């Protein structure tokens, strides 16, 4: 029986899937953000080179946080600003209310600040009798209906013009037509007296600068300029992690933030406040307060698996690419902080239990990490959140079964052909769905009677020259060994044809499902074992070559990350390759047979293949044989996410299909007759979703 | 790929400002700047114009233009007791900027009195004035200028980077200008080898 929490999550997913209007709005918003980012990066002389710089700055500043905070405080106070370090939300709220009470302030105009939302200060200020108004349009819209942000950059993206017109009709007591220009006029005149009569102007800050005691506030609407200049008192609530050391570092954040969010550079208004100036001549000194919020950040810094979350600059790019967020939105995928970073952040500041309510929505595609300006490894952090959460809420049977796919595959092979007959039998599949939670509609790949290892060992050994061109230890993973040994053999022959000596080292399946489903400890066990198996080969000069993109990703990216203190994991990573990347690297220049001339393929790159070179190796390889190859993508995942899409129900098959829709459409519209992909699982999903033929490039040999 | 060079800086500024819905005016000197500003005022036909920290030669000419056309003209010093209401009357706000950034079409306003910020922040139209010789090539070049401005004013100073008019995409991602502040933003760039 599904737990209550899972049932709630599943109901929310189904509701989202059934709301195409909202889904389309969100999809368009995310796509636009991604596309604009790419366009802008293309015009920048140094492209995305700021990413490692942002990461390095954040790493350094978080490591020196105590000293920087002291420096920031001293410099801000030297300019007459009062700095208060708040332990937690309650502390920050108490301090704010004390300021308001001392001076008899009545009104608060806020500009957008996620940090103030984190501590939900609006409720307490309102309870204390203050009139609190959000002045960022998106924030105002959700404040008027008492909702949480749906997206970090576009908090009200789920509200269409009709909804917004209705909201302002209610707020103003006058009929507002559903016309955007008209709504803007209404908003302008609604907010103007609020700006002019501000007692407390409350803002967040995107950056704090230690060397000068400056806060930097970015807005497109210009509302932060107004509330911070007009307010009798300015209160800035800033997360402790936002403090950098120098002006130069702050500028790097000012660049990276809007570029990553929507391809803008910079945000329309960037305000650098270093102390507070008077307003007009002869007025009194106006109060200026900075509240630096800890609220779990110091603890986070001490947590080696979570501290990277502190590098977040809140650009929202991760939620522009997250496939499942793109279907369900920030009210389901998030608590107050939505999207990918919302999982670790919520776990740290709002509690593991709350994060666990939506952590399962992460299907571990890794795309958020690829787009993040601070190169934050969210998937690994999320895996750890799931692992911690599982202590109280163990994974369900289906998930446990899918994590342990290798023993199942062994059984399947041992039982073939009976097991294959069963997999094709509708009655059996119905029973299997009930018993295991694997969706009966999925066409599962048949098991081979003889595994690749058996067939390889039974082969007449290839005569290798004394000096082979390269020596390759082949990493076959599950699929090539248990389901498609002929594919594995083709890979081996292709390598041998290029003069490689190929051996099959002892190995276990790559174990990525453990990372995806949150058994990080088990993933570490597999990683240790595989590194132990492979390192001696690397030491002897072998290269490790894998056919399955996720396996190559594990060897190259995941193992060194989850075994940070294991130098051999790095050595193995340094010599691991994806098959076609490798084949292209060692290929000679001799003309190739044009056996694929006249064929037109659509190429699908799996998410884990993106950081390994976007499948360029396979596409080049096909093109050298005369094929026409188009790279077709939706800009996000196909939805299958390893074995996630095999699961029956909203949190599996249904969500996988909803995620996949735009990609299926793109393939169907492209006019190609065949899809080529190297991922065994994506291929199942694409075949069912598009009705087109899907092949592995080796299948075209 | 866009690479700004000193030779193309001012043109790049103009192009990049236009890309964010701003209106650049490249003029040769203060007289031409004042003329450009008076043209903008004539076109908008406002009842009230406010200025803050603009070059004296321009101020005098614009003030004369406003007087001639019975346009209320607000200038420094602004008595604290009258703010912000007084400036809220202005339909056009004109401020001087300390430097500009070509790569991003940005004006950098440096002020030690927040009256300047509301002159550029409240009216429907903002006109910023900058010396073309104070044009930086890239955003990341601005660090020394920012640091210098902060150090020059140990008591308190605010820099505002302004790249176009107030914008929002909060309703259906449709770009809409002027939700709070300027709906129209002009940048008058003086000198630097250009004239309109
Ligand atoms: S790994 Fe993929 S599914 Fe998980 S949070 Fe990141 S983008 Fe979303
Ligand atoms: S985690 Fe990275 S991509 Fe996501 S909001 Fe933070 S900085 Fe942006």
- pLDDT tier at A165 (50, 70, 90 boundaries)? very high
CA distances from A188 to A16, B20, B176, B183, B185 (A): 33, 21, 12, 11, 17
CA distances from A125 to A86, A96, A202, A516 (A): 16, 8, 12, 41
Topology of domain A452-586, per CATH?
A: Glutathione S-transferase Yfyf (Class Pi); Chain A, domain 2 (1.20.1050)
In the numeric block, the tokens 């130069």 are attached to A248
Query: Using an 8 Å Cβ cutoff, are B156 and B112 in contact?
Result: yes
Q: Residue A404 above 90 pLDDT? A: no
Region A530-556: mean pLDDT is 98
- pLDDT tier at B195 (50, 70, 90 boundaries)? low
CATH number assigned to the domain with residue range A53-295, chosen from the 4 options 3.40.50.1100, 3.30.70.20, 3.40.50.10420, 1.20.140.10: 3.40.50.10420
Instruction: Take atom 2 of ligand 1 and give the residue whose Cα is closest.
Output: A365
pLDDT at A612: 95
Query: Using an 8 Å Cβ cutoff, are B62 and B34 in contact?
Result: yes
Question: B18-73, pLDDT tens digit by residue?
Answer: 999 999 999 999 999 999 999 999 999 999 999 999 999 999 999 999 999 999 99
pLDDT at A152: 87
Query: Measuring CA to CA, which residue among A601, A555, A632, A606 is closest to residue A699?
Result: A601
CATH code assigned to A2-32+298-389:
1.10.1060
What 8-state DSSP symbol labels residue A462? P
Q: Residue A378 above 60 pLDDT? A: yes
- Name the pairing type of β-strands A674-677 and A693-695: parallel
Question: A191-248, pLDDT tens digit by residue?
Answer: 999 999 999 999 999 999 999 999 999 999 999 999 999 999 999 999 999 999 999 9
Domain with CATH 1.20.1050.140 in chain A: 452-586
pLDDT at A329: 95
What 8-state DSSP symbol labels residue A334? B
User: Which of A157, A222, A280 shows the shortest C-beta gap to B166?
Assistant: A222
- Cβ contacts of B142 on chain A, cutoff 8 Å: 251
Best mutation target among A190, A252, A269 (most B Cβ atoms within 10 Å) is A269
pLDDT at B145: 98
pLDDT at A108: 98
With residue A581 as reference, give the H or E element that holds it.
helix A579-586
Kindly report the average pLDDT of chain A as a whole number: 95
Question: A308-347, pLDDT tens digit by residue?
Answer: 999 999 999 999 999 999 999 999 999 999 999 999 999 9
> CA–CA separation, B52 vs A571, rounded Å?
63
Strand partners, A503: A473
The whole-angstrom distance between B134's CA and the closest CA on chain A is 18
Kindly report the average pLDDT of chain B as a whole number: 95
User: Which of B77, B88, B180 shows the shortest C-beta gap to A281?
Assistant: B77
CA distances from A675 to A280, A408, A601, A665 (A): 68, 28, 6, 13
Percentage of chain A exceeding pLDDT 90: 92
Number of inter-chain CB pairs under 8 A, A vs B:
204
What 8-state DSSP symbol labels residue A330? T
pLDDT at B194: 63
Query: Ligand 1: which residues within 6 Å by Cβ?
Result: A 321-325, 340, 362-368, 378-379, 382
Q: Which residues contact A312 (CB under 8 A, 6 or more apart)?
A: A241, A341, A345, A374, A376
Region A246-252: mean pLDDT is 98
Query: Using an 8 Å Cβ cutoff, are A349 and A118 in contact?
Result: yes
Question: A17-44, pLDDT tens digit by residue?
Answer: 999 988 998 999 999 999 999 999 999 8
Region B138-162: mean pLDDT is 97
User: Which of A226, A254, A278 shows the shortest C-beta gap to B181?
Assistant: A226
Question: A573-604, pLDDT tens digit by residue?
Answer: 999 999 999 999 998 888 889 999 999 999 99
- Cβ contacts of B166 on chain A, cutoff 8 Å: 220-222, 268-269
Instruction: Take atom 7 of ligand 1 and give the residue whose Cα is closest.
Output: A322
Candidates A325, A344, A362, A637: which one to mutate for ligand 1, based on the most atoms within 8 Å of Cβ? A362
Burial label, A628 (beta-carbon count in 10 A; 0-12, 13-18, 19+): middle
Domain with CATH 1.10.1060 in chain A: 2-32+298-389
The reply to whether CATH 3.40.50.720 applies to domain A600-700 is no
Q: Residue A544 above 60 pLDDT? A: yes
In the numeric block, the tokens 């399947």 are attached to A412
With residue A279 as reference, give the H or E element that holds it.
none
- Name the pairing type of β-strands B167-168 and A107-110: unpaired
Domains with residue ranges and CATH for chain B:
6-190 (3.40.50.10420)
pLDDT at B2: 58
Instruction: Take atom 4 of ligand 2 and give the residue whose Cα is closest.
Output: A318
Strands (E) in A179-223, as ranges, are 200-203, 207-209, 214-219
Q: Residue A388 above 90 pLDDT? A: yes
pLDDT at A581: 95
Contact A247 B147 (CB under 8 A): yes
Contact A184 B178 (CB under 8 A): yes
> CA–CA separation, A51 vs A374, rounded Å?
6
Q: Residue A466 above 90 pLDDT? A: no
pLDDT at B192: 73
pLDDT at A146: 95
> CA–CA separation, B162 vs B127, rounded Å?
11
pLDDT at A330: 94
With residue A575 as reference, give the H or E element that holds it.
none
Output the CA A558–ligand 1 centroid distance in Å.
Answer: 15
Instruction: Take atom 2 of ligand 2 and give the residue whose Cα is closest.
Output: A372
Contact A277 B106 (CB under 8 A): no
Best mutation target among B80, B109, B114, B140 (most A Cβ atoms within 10 Å) is B114
């Amino acid at each position: 029986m599904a737990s209550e929490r899972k049932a709630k999550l599943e109901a929310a997913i189904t509701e989202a899937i059934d709301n195409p209007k909202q889904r389309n709005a969100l999809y368009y918003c995310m796509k636009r953000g991604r596309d604009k980012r790419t366009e802008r990066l293309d015009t920048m002389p140094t492209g995305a080179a700021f990413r490692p710089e942002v990461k390095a700055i954040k790493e350094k500043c978080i490591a020196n946080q105590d000293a920087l905070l002291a420096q920031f405080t001293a410099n801000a106070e030297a300019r007459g600003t009062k700095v208060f370090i708040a332990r937690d939300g309650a502390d920050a709220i108490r301090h704010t209310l004390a300021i308001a009470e001392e001076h008899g302030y009545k009104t608060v105009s806020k500009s957008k600040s996620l940090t103030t939302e984190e501590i939900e200060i609006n409720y307490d200020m309102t309870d204390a009798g203050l009139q609190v108004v959000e002045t960022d349009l998106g924030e105002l819209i959700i404040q008027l209906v008492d909702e949480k942000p749906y997206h970090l950059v576009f908090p009200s993206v789920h509200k269409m013009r009709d909804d917004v017109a209705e909201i302002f009709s209610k707020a103003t007591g006058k009929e507002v037509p559903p016309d955007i220009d008209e709504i803007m006029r209404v908003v302008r005149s609604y907010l103007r007296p609020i700006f002019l009569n501000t007692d407390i102007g409350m803002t967040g800050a995107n950056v704090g600068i230690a060397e000068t005691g400056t806060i930097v506030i970015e807005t497109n609407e210009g509302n932060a300029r107004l509330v911070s200049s007009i307010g009798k008192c300015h209160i800035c609530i800033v997360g402790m992690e936002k403090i950098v050391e120098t002006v130069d570092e702050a500028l790097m954040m000012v660049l990276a933030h809007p570029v990553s969010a929507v391809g803008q550079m910079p945000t329309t208004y960037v305000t650098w406040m270093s102390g507070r100036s008077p307003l007009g001549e002869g007025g009194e000194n106006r109060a200026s307060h900075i509240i630096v919020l800890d609220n779990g950040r110091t603890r986070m810094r001490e947590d080696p698996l979570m501290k990277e979350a502190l590098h977040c600059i809140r650009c929202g790019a991760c939620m522009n690419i997250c496939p499942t967020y793109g279907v369900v939105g920030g009210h389901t995928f998030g608590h107050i902080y939505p999207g990918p970073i919302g999982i670790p952040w919520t776990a740290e500041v709002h509690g593991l239990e709350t994060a666990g309510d939506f952590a399962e929505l992460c299907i571990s595609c890794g795309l958020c990490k690829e787009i993040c300006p601070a190169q934050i490894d969210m998937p690994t952090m999320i895996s750890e959140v799931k692992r911690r959460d599982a202590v109280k809420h163990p994974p369900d049977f289906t998930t446990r079964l899918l994590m342990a796919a290798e023993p199942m595959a062994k059984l399947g092979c041992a039982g073939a052909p009976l097991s294959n007959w069963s997999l094709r039998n509708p009655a059996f599949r119905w029973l299997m769905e009930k018993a295991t939670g694997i969706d009966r509609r999925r066409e599962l790949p048949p098991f081979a009677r003889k595994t690749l290892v058996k067939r390889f060992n039974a082969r007449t050994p290839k005569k290798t020259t004394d000096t082979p061109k390269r020596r390759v230890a082949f990493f076959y993973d599950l699929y090539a060994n248990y389901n498609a040994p002929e594919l594995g053999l083709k890979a081996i022959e292709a390598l041998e044809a290029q003069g490689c000596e190929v051996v099959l080292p002892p190995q276990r399946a790559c174990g990525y499902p453990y990372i995806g489903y949150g058994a990080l400890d088990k993933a570490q066990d597999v990683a240790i074992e595989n590194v132990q198996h492979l390192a001696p080969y690397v030491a002897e000069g072998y290269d490790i070559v894998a056919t399955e993109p996720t396996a190559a990703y594990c060897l190259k990216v995941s193992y060194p990350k989850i075994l940070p203190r294991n130098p051999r994991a790095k050595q193995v990573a340094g010599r691991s390759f994806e098959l076609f990347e490798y084949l292209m690297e060692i290929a000679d220049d001799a003309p190739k047979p044009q056996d694929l001339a006249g064929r037109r393929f659509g190429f699908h790159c799996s998410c884990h293949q993106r950081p390994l070179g976007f499948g360029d190796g396979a596409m080049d390889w096909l093109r050298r044989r005369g094929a026409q190859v188009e790279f077709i993508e939706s800009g996000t995942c196909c939805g299958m996410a390893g074995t996630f899409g095999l699961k029956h129900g909203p949190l599996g098959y249904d969500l996988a299909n909803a995620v996949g829709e735009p990609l299926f459409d793109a393939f169907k519209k492209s006019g190609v007759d065949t899809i080529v992909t190297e991922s065994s699982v994506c291929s199942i999903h694409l075949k069912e979703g598009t009705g087109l033929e899907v092949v592995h490039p080796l299948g075209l040999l | 790929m866009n690479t700004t060079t000193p030779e193309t800086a001012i043109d790049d500024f103009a192009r990049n400002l236009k890309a964010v819905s701003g209106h650049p005016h490249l003029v040769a000197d203060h007289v031409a700047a004042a003329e450009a500003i008076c043209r903008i005022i004539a076109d908008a036909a406002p009842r009230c114009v406010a200025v803050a920290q603009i070059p004296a030669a321009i101020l005098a000419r614009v003030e004369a233009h406003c007087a001639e056309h019975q346009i209320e003209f607000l200038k420094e010093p602004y008595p604290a007791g009258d703010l912000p209401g007084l400036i809220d009357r202005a339909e056009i706000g004109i401020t001087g900027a300390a430097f500009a950034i070509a790569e991003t079409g940005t004006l950098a306003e440096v002020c030690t009195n927040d009256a300047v910020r509301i002159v550029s922040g409240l009216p429907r139209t903002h006109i910023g004035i900058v010396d073309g010789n104070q044009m930086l090539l890239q955003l990341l070049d601005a660090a020394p200028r920012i640091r210098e401005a902060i150090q020059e004013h140990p008591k308190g100073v605010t820099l505002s980077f302004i790249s176009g008019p107030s914008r929002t995409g909060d309703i259906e991602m449709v770009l809409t200008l002027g939700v709070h502040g300027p709906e129209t933003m002009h940048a008058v760039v003086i000198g630097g080898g250009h004239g309109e």
